[in-house]
Amino acid sequence: MDSARDFEQVYASELKPALLSLESRRKRVLRDGLFTFIPAAISITGLIIFFTSDRLLPSYIYIVSLLVLTVAVYFGIRCYNGNKDYLAAFKQLVMFAVVKAVDPDLIYKPFESVSEADYKKSGLFKDNYDRFRGDDLIQGLRDKTVFCFSELHTEEEVKRGKSSSWETIFRGIFFIADFNKDFHGRTYVWNDHDSKLNPLSNIFSSFDDGLEKIVLESTEFESAFKVYSSDQVEARYILTPSMMERMLRLRNELNTPVTYSFVDTNIYVAVPFTTELFEPSLFAETGKNKLKGYYETVRAIISIVDELELNTRIWTKQ
């Protein structure tokens, strides 16, 4: 059965009724937000006028402004809590059904993520992040291959004098799968066109000694990636011509600068996206096309196992 027909059935039987049941919650959160913004604006305006006016103004302006501000705070708290409840309900009712439509055996944990330990072990990004956030963890088994992935967003605090700002190190899907080989070395395949992943300027200095640049025979692969490894022989066994071709094809199919690493017994794949992928909008009802996008994204990430032929066991673990 093709994916479109599968999705149509799930949408009609599960997703559409779930969205209808959530619509009143979404509208209530929006209403509370409106009741927060308007009284807050009125209150702040009144207080500014009261304290900055050259004339002596009646004290009731101050009192009324404080009362209106109290109303704004009340609805602000309601809006915050309502938004959290709406998001939790959306994940549990809608996203859960989307994930199960892709594969009923998948495990979905909406408020968990790939661990910081795995993120660090991958070696794909510099270590000095200051904020680590993630959600929508999906775990599964595809034929013989165990895998998991989640959304991740890591940031570095950059201080400039007395001010500071947050700069993204990585934002997107972080995928981990068993490669069925205990690697003796570490092999990193970095995108050649992203300055944040430039091994010479940002990452290379964070590793201990032993990495060296690997020159490969594929000119197309060399133009897209830069490869560093602590074991030249092992790197070449991993990056066979067919594997390089599949890695390039995956990069093109996802239409984003994918990066890879091979560490311990796992392959790590970082798939950058500019926005959060599985979050509902408060300002409009989540439509069928958006849910179809969620469905296809989950399918595409899981297909990494197939695209890289990870179930073709050319090695055995020692």
Given a cut of 90, is residue 269 above it in pLDDT? yes
Which strand (E) or helix (H) includes residue 149? strand 145-160
Given a cut of 80, is residue 81 above it in pLDDT? yes
Q: Which residues contact 136 (CB under 8 A, 6 or more apart)?
A: 91, 95, 108, 110, 113, 150, 151, 277, 278
Tell me the pLDDT of the chain averaged across its residues: 85
Helix (H, G, I), strand (E, B) or coil at 65: helix
How would residue 201 be classed by pLDDT, with cut points 50, 70 and 90? very low
Angle, alpha carbons 49-55-59 (nearest 5°): 65
Distance separating alpha carbons of residues 146 and 60, to the nearest angstrom? 67
Distance separating alpha carbons of residues 299 and 15, to the nearest angstrom? 17
Give the rounded distance of the alpha carbon of 12 from its chain centre: 28
* pLDDT score for 56: 66
How would residue 194 be classed by pLDDT, with cut points 50, 70 and 90? low
Comparing 116 with 192, the larger pLDDT belongs to: 116
How would residue 199 be classed by pLDDT, with cut points 50, 70 and 90? very low
| pLDDT tens-digit readout, 7-58 | 888 899 999 999 999 999 999 999 998 889 888 888 888 878 877 876 766 7
* pLDDT score for 209: 53
Given a cut of 90, is residue 147 above it in pLDDT? yes
Least confident of 126-130, 173-177, 258-262, 310-314: 310-314
Distance separating alpha carbons of residues 201 and 192, to the nearest angstrom? 12
Give the helix ranges, DSSP H, for 11-58: 16-52
**DSSP state letters, 198-259:** -IIIIIGGGS-S--EEE--S-HHHHHHEEEEES-HHHHHHHS-HHHHHHHHHHHHHHTS--E
Angle, alpha carbons 35-37-39 (nearest 5°): 65
Q: Looking at residues 93-107, what average pLDDT do you find?
A: 92
How would residue 271 be classed by pLDDT, with cut points 50, 70 and 90? very high
Given a cut of 80, is residue 91 above it in pLDDT? yes
Comparing 150 with 180, the larger pLDDT belongs to: 150
% residues pLDDT > 70 (the chain): 89
Q: Number of C-alpha atoms within 13 angstroms, CB side, residue 293? A: 10
Strand partners, 167: 156
Given a cut of 50, is residue 290 above it in pLDDT? yes
| pLDDT tens-digit readout, 210-263 | 788 888 888 888 888 989 999 988 998 889 888 899 899 888 888 888 999 999
Structure tokens at 10: 């799930």
Entry pTM: 0.84
How would residue 4 be classed by pLDDT, with cut points 50, 70 and 90? very low
* pLDDT score for 122: 92
Given a cut of 50, is residue 2 above it in pLDDT? no
Given a cut of 90, is residue 133 above it in pLDDT? yes
